[in-house]
Amino acid sequence: MENPPPQQDTPQPPPTSGRKTKGSGGSATPLWLWLLLIGGFALIFWQFMPKTEMLVDYNPWFLDQVKKNNIKTISFQGVEIHGELRLEEPYSNPSSMTPTKVRKFYTYAPSEASIYPIELELRKNEVRIEGNPPNQATGLAWIMFLLPTFVLLGFIYLMMRRARDRFDGGNTP
């Protein structure tokens, strides 16, 4: 009887299944998709950044600033008033009672008729009155409108990639 040859400790290659390997399992994600995702996240974070304007009381704080001629620029849109002061002024928020320095502000007038006398006073003091376009959809609103479309297109893209991988030599049941 012959002894079997001694076993060698060399690793054996794994058996091939007949499937073509593509390295990491498919083609890389396209650059435009990464840029679209990064741009979308940047827009979302930009929308949630804190605003520099502070909500102030119309009466007495805003009216006092008009009387002191401390308004640098102002804009009216309906009863909403946005403005910037010449010099920072402290404002005590009624809820927190801690004074904060205010440079840019916004407030709401009680009615559109109450804005006319203030506008005359501001024109007399040569305050720059700016025009505002009507409210338009913000970037966040556009994202909310277009997000379902992008999700659907992304789903279709991924399904097409998987179908292509199956025809490129993937396992067939």
- Map out the domains of the chain as residue ranges: 54-130
Tell me the whole-structure pTM to 2 decimals.
0.49
**What's the CATH fold of domain 54-130?**
3.30.720
DSSP per-residue letters across the chain = -PPPPPPP-PPPPPPP-SPPP-TTTSPPPPHHHHHHHHHHHHHHHHHTSPPS-EE--IIIIIHHHHHTT-EEEEEEETTEEEEEEEEEEEEE-TTT--EEEEEEEEEE-S-STTHHHHHHHHHHTT-EEE--PPP---HHHHHHHHHHHHHHHHHHHHHHHHHHHHHTT----
Q: What is the pLDDT, as a whole number, of residue 24?
A: 54
Q: What is the pLDDT of residue 173?
A: 54
Please give the chain's pLDDT, 173 residues, in tens.
566 666 666 666 666 555 555 555 567 778 888 888 888 888 777 777 767 777 888 888 888 888 888 888 888 888 888 888 888 888 777 777 778 888 888 888 888 888 788 888 888 877 787 776 666 666 667 777 788 888 888 888 888 887 777 766 655 55
